[in-house]
A = this chain, B = another copy of it.
Amino acid sequence: MEIYVYTSKAIWKRGREGTIKCGCGAELDFSLPLEFGGKAGVMTAEDAFVASINMSFATTFFSYAEKEKIDLIEFECDTNGILDRTAPKTMFKRLVIHPKITVGKYEDVEKVSKIVELSQKYSNICNSVKGKVVVEFKVDVQEKK
């Protein structure tokens, strides 16, 4: 077994607000989302959950891109999480990952398609969520002059 432990500490500040300290060193304020009576502009559990899927897909992609020596020019990825709060069970039903990738060589396009597939398959977080994860990607080529 290959086991890793990740930790965090949440501390209440006031009302529906707190501070969270992650094991990695990142520290930030959080609250309930605005639509559930929280404060605007700070992190929420719902945003962090969707962001964790996005970051996991992205970093897994970055690792494979490095390994496969992809000439990566740009990588942008929008991830949307659809939260269903229909009683009694509230949960994220669907997570849609939309990576847009620009590479410098035509021969990288096929490799990128393969890497997108592997990144979803081996993402620690994509494998840890109940909702359906869907990836819809786009690759562009921008050859250097």
Give the interface of A toward B (CB within 8 A).
1-12, 15-18, 20, 22-26, 28, 30-38, 40-59, 62-63, 66, 72, 74-86, 89-92, 122-125, 127-131
Copy number of this protein in the oligomer? 2
Residue of B nearest to A35 (CB): B4
**Secondary structure of the A contact surface, majority rule:** mixed
Cross-chain contact of A20 among B3, B16, B32, B54 (Cβ < 8 A): B54
Taking the closest CB of chain B, its distance from the CB of A116, in whole angstroms, is 14
What are 16 sample pairs from A and B whose C-beta atoms fall under 8 A apart? A1-B86, A2-B85, A3-B83, A6-B33, A6-B44, A9-B54, A9-B78, A10-B55, A12-B62, A18-B55, A20-B55, A24-B34, A25-B40, A45-B54, A49-B52, A49-B56
